[in-house]
Amino acid sequence: MIGGSGSLEIVPAEIRVISPEEAIVAWHLCDPDAEKVFKTLRNAGVKLAVVSNFDTRLRPVLRALNCDYWCDTVAVSAEVEAEKPNPTIFIKACELLGVKPEDVVHVGDDCRNDIWGARDAGCDAWLWRSDVHSFKEVAQRIGVRV
C-alpha cells in the first residue's frame, strides 16, 4: 500500500521484477561460519526459522543457496498474510516450530520490523550487528558451543 498527501505516478518502465536467478546472484551469505553454526544448533535441538517480508520466491532462493535445510521452517509474509513488524508473522513462525514465543529469540537487522515486531509477539529479540555480530555469537549467547 502506498499512501501520502501528494500524487504518485508510477512509470511502468521503472518497475522491474527480478527473477529468482537474479535474486540468487544478489543474495550472499553474510557469515562464513553460518553452515557450521546452523548444523551445530540443530544438532543441539534448537529449532530454527526464517521470518521474512519476502515473497514466495524466498524458498527457491534458499534452495539455490543450498541453505534451505538449515532451518526447520520458513514464515514468509506473502504466505502468512502479515508483514513484520506485525506480531502475527512471528506468532505464526512460533506455531510452525511448535514453541512458545517467550521461549524464542529472534535475530534481525531492522529495529522496527524485527526487534519491535518480535517483542510485540512476546519473543526476545537481538539486533544483528549491534547485539550480536555473528551466528557463532548467537549460538554462544543461547548456550550452544560451536
Q: What is the pLDDT of residues 51-85, one digit of tens each?
A: 999 988 899 888 888 889 999 999 999 999 999 99
12-141: CATH number: 3.40.50.1000
* Amino acid residing at 118: A
What tens digit of pLDDT does each residue of 110-145 get?
999 999 999 999 999 999 999 999 999 999 999 999
To which H or E segment does residue 35 belong? helix 34-43
Strand 105-108 to strand 124-127: parallel, antiparallel, or no bridges (unpaired)? parallel
List phi, psi (to 5°) of 119. -65, -35
DSSP 46-94: ---EEEES--TTHHHHHHHTT-GGGSSEEEEHHHHT--TTSHHHHHHHH
Global pTM reads 0.81
Total length of the chain: 146
> Residue ranges per domain, the chain?
12-141
